[in-house]
Amino acid sequence: MDQASETRPMAEIHPLIGMGGTELMGRLLGREEPAISEAQGREFARYYPLIRALPGAVDLLGAAHQAGIELVLVTSSKAGDLPHVMEPLGPTGQLFGQVVHGEEGGRAKPAPDLFHMALERSGFEPDQVVAVGDAEWDITASGRAGIASIGLRTGGMDADALMRAGALAVYDSCAHLLEKWRSSPLA
């Protein structure tokens, strides 16, 4: 946020991670700052080589696909970031039947717009879907679209915060969810 001569402690920023960039800036600064958004994009690109799949993510996605679950990715990421974010998933990244990203119109999380778009594209009704997210904003946005959700603590969110946002259940990681699959909302 140096581009706007603003500083904020990480304790204010971290709870907003997962929210769309415009929404995040609005919450932190009370206004949009295009210069910050552009600088964030350039800064994020520097870290592309360091992006890794979450532990257990590839196995979880593979198991869901083998179980006949249609996978849809709903992300606030920009279109240009998607290849770099998906690359660590390897061939498993190709299992997503639909991908809805943050530049496709509508409002970003915590608004439900991206989830509404995912429902429209997939042809599913909200009660046929379970979202999995690791930020309060994933859980809030999916809930506003009428979609039940599972919380993962991989985003550093407290289990209580994910439950307060509306998660049906919370798991420590992708591997933990896979381990508890049979007793989870995915079953």
Give the global pTM: 0.87
Q: Each residue of 103-116: pLDDT tens digit?
A: 887 888 889 999 99
CA distance 43 to 13: 16
* Percentage of residues in the chain having pLDDT higher than 70: 94
3-state class (DSSP) for residue 103: coil
22: enclosing H helix or E strand:
helix 21-29
Report DSSP state, residue 93. G
**39-98 confidence digits (pLDDT tens):** 777 888 999 999 999 999 999 999 999 999 999 999 988 899 999 999 999 999 999 999
Burial class (CB in 10 A: 0-12, 13-18, 19+), 79: exposed
Report pLDDT for 3: 57
pLDDT at 185: 95
* Per-residue pLDDT, 108: 82
Q: Is 19 left (phi over 0), alpha (psi -120 to 50) or beta?
A: beta
Separation CA 81–CA 66 (nearest Å): 27
The more confidently predicted of residues 163 and 187 is 163
Q: How far apart are CA 168 and CA 187, in angstroms?
A: 13
